[in-house]
Amino acid sequence: MKVCFDTSVLVAAVVDQLANHEAACACFVQYSQGKHRGCCSTHSLAECYATLTALPLPKRIQAAEARILIEENFIKRLTILELTQADYATAITRCSQLGLVSGVIYDALHLVAAERANCQRIYTYNLMHFNRLQPHRITVTAP
């Protein structure tokens, strides 16, 4: 099965101080080795960096640590789906046609990349956001 990870699951998978770490980590491990291959969009990498370095943790994640987490866990273990100009146009069109505004565009970018890559599932903790985008041929679920 080909799956795509949203930033919300990727961050939880590598930060053991988050409540949903165990489920996210188990899901990530399942789809980042063996016959299953997980994916994430290039935009997810930037969102992961922004989120990891801004989390209000007792011991903050420093810039260099965030880079290492992203490189070792995501870039080396997942297929990275590069977003194209057409992907951005598709995401904007989808949001505007559905009357959706603001930050939902970022979820739309992940979804468009997953659809283009023919993923069967997208893992996210933002179920409502993704379901509002009316995904085509993709099951939206939490780990």
pLDDT tens across 36-65, in order? 889 999 999 999 999 999 999 998 999 999
Q: What is the pTM of this model?
A: 0.95
User: What pLDDT is recorded for position 136?
Assistant: 86
What domains lie within the chain, and their CATH numbers?
Answer: 2-141 (3.40.50.1010)
Ordered DSSP codes for 72-110: IIIITTSEEE---HHHHHHHHHHHHHHT--TTHHHHHHH
Predicted confidence (pLDDT) at residue 35 exceeds the cutoff of 90: no
User: Which conformational region is residue 102 in: left (phi greater than 0), alpha (psi within -120 to 50 degrees), or beta?
Assistant: left
Question: Which tokens hold the place of 122?
Answer: 């997208």
Q: For strands 37-41 and 139-141, give the pairing.
A: unpaired
User: Residue 38 forms beta bridges with which residues?
Assistant: 3
pLDDT (average), residues 93-110: 97
